[in-house]
Chain A
Amino acid sequence: MSLKNIKTKIQSVRKTSTVTRAMEAVSAVKMRKSQERALTARPYARAALRMLGSVMGSFNAENHPLTRERKEGKVAILLITSDKGLAGSLNSSVLRKTEQFIVEENLLPEELLFICLGRRGHEFALRNGFEVMRHHVNISDGIDEDQFSLITDEVVRLQESGKTREVRIAYTDFRSTFEQEAAVHKILPISLKIMEHIIASITPERGKYSEERQGNGAVAAYTIEPDADEVLAALIPKLTNVAVFHKLLESKASEHSARMVAMKNATDKARDMVKELTRTFNRVRQAAITREVSEITSGIESMR
């Protein structure tokens, strides 16, 4: 390789590393924001769970379309992925998990219904010829509730109308900055067990907010007005809302941290490459000088 080529290459690698470093910093900030947002939903979810627990006793799950177990109907999958790449194996592991779920449950393509949040998931569903009921791209990190309710209302409507027998959510569980895990969870028909799982997952196991993990406290005997059915009818869509909202935020936090780590690796790799290339550059330069010197000296020798 010529000197000039190596020089250009060093420059381009350097430029790339500036970009990746900037992306790393941006992702770090976004990640923190998403994490904080995910935590604001927690007191809400806890209170909702407590209420559910208090009225569940006097309530028959068969009475409400969102809690009733059904045999007929499709399986809706709410697929949460990112819009953009450069985030390591984040999206591919969600998609792999989804495929695995479909195989395990022996679901036929016509039994499935996809709602895709994020471009990657949408592309996946189209590629595999699944029915996509709706897809949303460019969901901002600071998604507000009104926008978001549109999505959950749709899911709730699907289940209420009996078009689906269950709703699953495929997303990325945020464990820590370096650890994310793709998962497929059932969110409807909703049960106490599902809610408890959501609450437990709302508090991270480790890190900044993990010390806030605490019990729910004993549930007192409540006076319920007007009656349990009415309260549940109001409560269950809210629970679904908080469940999906939280999964979305969690996926967002995962996306940003995965990207941050991927970009950090890229920056480190670029630094190594620059080092390596500089070394080659010096060696080639040295060789060229030696060659020139020996040419000159041999020229002088021959002139004598």
Chain B
Amino acid sequence: MSTFHLIIASVGETRFEGPAISATFPGSAGEFTVLAHHEPFVTTLKKGVITVRRDDGTKKYSIENGVLECSNNRTVVLL
């Protein structure tokens, strides 16, 4: 499976960093999923749960708010 590099970080710590197959985010304009080679994209996130799928299973992170940026097969979420 092709993957993309995902970083979920708050100011004080990095909650997740590594390759992911897909990730689902609670976008402020509705839920969406990012796969590998997503187009360059910036959006805000609302309160909800981020679901990250990897080879070894899924992980969930609950967030209050955030901003997401996708470019060059890398997705960064700032909480």
Footprint of B on A, CB under 8 Å? 37, 40-41, 43-44, 47-48, 50-51, 54-55, 144-145, 148, 217, 219-226, 230-231, 234-235, 238, 241-242, 245
Contacts and interface: CB of A to CB of B under 8 A. Distances in A.
B67 A235 contact: yes
6 contacts: A37-B12, A41-B12, A43-B76, A44-B11, A51-B42, A230-B44
Contact of B12 (A145, A226, A230, A238): A145
A145 B11 contact: yes
Interface SS majority for chain B: strand
Interface in B19-59: 27-29, 39-44
Contacts of B66: 234
Contacts, number: 88
A225 B43 contact: yes
B23 to A, nearest CB: 15
A144 B42 contact: no
A224 B10 contact: no
A47 B76 contact: yes
Among A37, A44, A50, A217: residue with most chain B CB under 10 A? A44
A225 B41 contact: yes
Given A50-B69, A145-B11, A223 B42 contact: yes
Given A44-B11, A47-B9, A220-B40, 10 more contacts: A44-B10, A44-B14, A55-B42, A222-B40, A223-B39, A225-B43, A226-B43, A231-B42, A234-B65, A238-B67
Interface SS majority for chain A: helix
A245 B28 CA distance: 26
Contacts of B78: 44, 47-48, 51, 235, 238
Interface of B: 7, 9-14, 27-29, 39-44, 65-67, 69, 71-72, 76, 78
Contacts of B65: 234
Contacts of B76: 43, 47, 50
A40 B41 contact: no
A231 to B, nearest CB: 6
Nearest to B70: A222
A47 B69 contact: yes
Nearest to B66: A234
B73 to A, nearest CB: 11
B72 A217 contact: yes
A28 B60 CA distance: 38
Nearest to B44: A234
